[in-house]
Amino acid sequence: MKIYLVGGAIRDKLLGLEPKEKDWVVINSSPQELLNLGYKQVGKDFPVFLNPHTTEEYALARKERKVNKGHQGFEFDISSIVTLEQDLLRRDLTINAIAQDEEGGLIDPYNGIADIENKVLRHVSEAFTEDPLRVFRLARFYAKLYSYNFNIHDSTYKIIERIVNSGEIETLSPERLWGELSKAFNTPDPWMFFEVLIKSKVAEKYIPEILHNNLLKEKILFFSKKNIEKNMFLSIAGFSNNFVTLFGFPKKILDIYFMYNEFQPKFFSLQMQSEKILSFLNTLDAFRRPERLKIFLKQIKYSTNFSQINKDLKLSIFFELSEIIEKKINYGDLINIEVEKIKRKIEKINLNLISSVLSKKI
């Protein structure tokens, strides 16, 4: 049994980056041998095992054969005669198809080191076409390495066009697409993810809304230079309902995405009168869920920074109200009071608090 470090850890090290995780490939072994050594298999039918001491992933060297559509339509050959070179051949990009042996020597059968030196993203082999997710994975790597002046090889764009024409992209689940989009928005240049999809004709066929969408581009470029949380970024970038469905946005982002789209126009047009402010806060459910108001005000602050619309006074009023609400308003003793009287009492106290803040600010 021989073990090699493979993939991203080597790529990042050669780029001068700190590797975030390590992946290993095991040659001349078997599932039973790894199980006997205490490794735990990830999934019943997948030849990946967790090291019992480090929990890092160790994959048996394998060859793959596409037998059906989708990412589950593969047959694996994990026999002990599969070579390191055969395992590396099935990987996506040459820069990810480099291995390192236990003595630190590099094995680079597909010239990944040269492509790192020449700043080229290039597919390893025809196997690239077998999983259409690799189109989005490539786009994500381009976003990650754009600041290093990497470019995508023309031959790789041609192979992407074949994937687009095959219709295989339609087999991708929203969850898998979300994984790549989410990682792209962890990079310094997330708009470059979309540039690849535009140039490769993926956008034209599946997400035409990003074509010639200068406002979306300007927002993504603007917010990517700010210290803004990813979930917040994605909620205010300006994506359509169709887009967030296609890319499988998780519920925690969808909640604030829909909140922003519903309440942002109402906030901008809101008149600064106590009754109208109270109605807005009630509709937002701010008194019962003050964290919603805090998140919404952050969204408004970021969006006004981009649009340069001056809402400083209105934001100042609402930020002060947010602090008051978060500290819990004292409504006094509400025991043994009729429901309608409780409602009227709470409304009166809330109105008085709002009026007090308004009188200080306006």
* pLDDT tens digits, 243-280: 999 999 999 999 999 999 999 999 999 999 999 999 99
Quick check: 163 and 129 in contact, CB under 8 A? yes
Q: Inform me whether the pLDDT recorded for 74 exceeds 70.
A: no
Tokens 């066009």 belong to residue: 161
How much is the average pLDDT of 70-84?
74
How much is the average pLDDT of 87-104?
96
Angle 180-7-98 from CA coordinates, rounded to 5°: 140
The helix, strand and coil proportions of the chain, stated in percent and rounded to the nearest 5, come to 55, 10, 35
> First and final CA of the chain: distance in angstroms?
76
Residue 333, both tokens? 């003793």
pLDDT (0 to 100) of residue 68? 65
Cα 219 vs. chain centroid, distance in angstroms? Answer: 17
How much is the average pLDDT of 222-238?
96
Enter the pTM of the model: 0.90
